[in-house]
Each structure stands twice: as structure tokens, then as C-alpha cells.
């Protein structure tokens, strides 16, 4: 006899007690994830730092990090934890952000590849983000020191540590050497 697992909604998932480790909701099912390793955290902080310098100087939007949840699919619901994201003030005005999951597409998402990430899982997340309406998704690979750039309206690009990263949309003036993300 099998017992059917009930699927959770994003709202139900948000009310679960904190398990003390990362989780995502994928098609209504809670998926445990291992805590990120040190290098992963370092690259996330580097992206946040560089992005925050630009957004603070130009007053263009919010920088969020630490696996903040974004609802990418409904019926069944999926809530993904973004490593780093940017949301323009045009979408959410300055000030404290809501205490809920994000339900609108951010302007950019940055995911840092972990050694345990399978390429198919990363591409699934990228597809969900692009389908949600995120204009740009960047996957940073600490091992190769490359940034895989996925866009909603143009061909993908791969940048290496000798290239310059150039933002798009509200981040169009943001330029930073790719190597700075991997220092």
C-alpha cells in the first residue's frame, strides 16, 4: 500500500518551521539541500558587494541574497532560493521589502554553482527563472571562474575571468571585471 504525498502550496511552505538548512519547494514537494560550502558563500558575497556598490551609488534597486525565495511556478507551486538577485525600484520602491516570497520576476538573478549541482538541475532553474520573466540569469562557476549568461531576448554568453561583466536593463551602467567575482 502506498501513501500519497500531499503537495504544498507556496503559502503552506512559507509557514513551515525553519529546518536549519536550505530547502526549496519543487512542484509542491519540499527538497532538502546541503548547506553551501565556503567558496560558494565567498563568490555570493563578492557578487553582492560589487552589485551593492553600484546600486547604492546609482539608487536603482534592491540587492537580495541568502537563498531568498521566489515563486516560479503555480499548481503545483515551486519556490526557488536565489543566491543573489536584483529588483529595480521600478518594481518595488525603496524601503523595507515584504516578509513574503517574491512573486514578481527580479531584473537579474545570480546563481553560484556548487560542486553537488548537476548541470540539468541548474538549467531547470535557469529555465524557470526565464519563464517567470527574469530578463537575465547568471550562473557563476567558481571552478572554471566563468559566468554563464542566459538572457530572455538574446543569445547566451560565457564570460571568463579576463572579460568584463556588463549589466543590462536597470543595471546597464554596471561594469565589473569578472575576476572580481572570484577573488
Distance of CA 114 to the CA centre of its chain: 13
Q: What is the pLDDT of residue 2?
A: 47
As its CATH architecture, domain 36-182 has: Alpha-Beta Complex (3.90)
Burial of 86 by CB count in 10 Å (0-12 exposed, 13-18 middle, 19+ buried)? buried
pLDDT along the chain (183 residues), means of 10: 73 93 95 92 98 97 96 97 98 95 97 92 96 98 98 97 97 98 97
Q: What angle do CA 52, 54, 55 make, to 5 degrees?
A: 65
Residue 1 is predicted with a pLDDT of 45
152 dihedral zone (left: phi>0; alpha: psi -120 to 50; beta):
alpha
Is 130 in a helix, a strand, or coil?
Answer: helix
Domain ranges of the chain: 36-182
pTM of the model: 0.94
Amino acid at each position: 500500500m502506498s501513501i500519497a504525498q500531499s503537495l504544498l502550496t507556496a503559502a503552506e511552505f512559507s509557514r513551515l518551521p525553519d529546518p536549519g538548512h536550505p530547502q526549496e519547494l519543487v512542484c509542491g514537494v519540499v527538497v532538502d539541500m546541503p548547506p553551501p560550502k565556503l567558496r560558494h558563500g565567498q563568490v555570493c558575497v563578492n557578487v553582492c558587494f560589487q552589485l551593492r556598490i553600484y546600486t547604492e551609488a546609482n539608487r536603482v534597486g534592491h540587492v537580495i541574497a541568502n537563498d531568498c525565495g521566489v515563486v516560479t511556478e503555480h499548481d503545483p507551486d515551486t519556490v526557488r532560493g536565489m543566491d543573489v538577485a536584483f529588483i529595480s525600484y521600478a518594481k518595488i520602491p525603496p524601503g523595507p521589502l515584504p516578509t513574503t516570497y517574491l512573486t514578481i520576476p527580479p531584473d537579474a538573478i545570480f546563481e553560484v554553482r556548487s560542486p553537488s549541482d548537476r548541470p540539468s538541475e541548474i538549467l531547470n532553474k535557469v529555465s524557470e527563472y526565464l519563464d517567470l520573466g527574469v530578463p537575465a540569469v547568471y550562473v557563476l562557476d567558481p571552478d572554471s571562474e566563468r559566468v554563464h549568461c542566459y538572457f530572455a531576448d538574446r543569445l547566451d554568453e560565457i564570460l571568463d575571468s579576463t572579460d568584463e561583466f556588463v549589466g543590462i536593463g536597470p543595471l546597464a551602467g554596471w561594469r565589473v571585471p569578472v575576476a572580481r567575482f572570484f577573488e
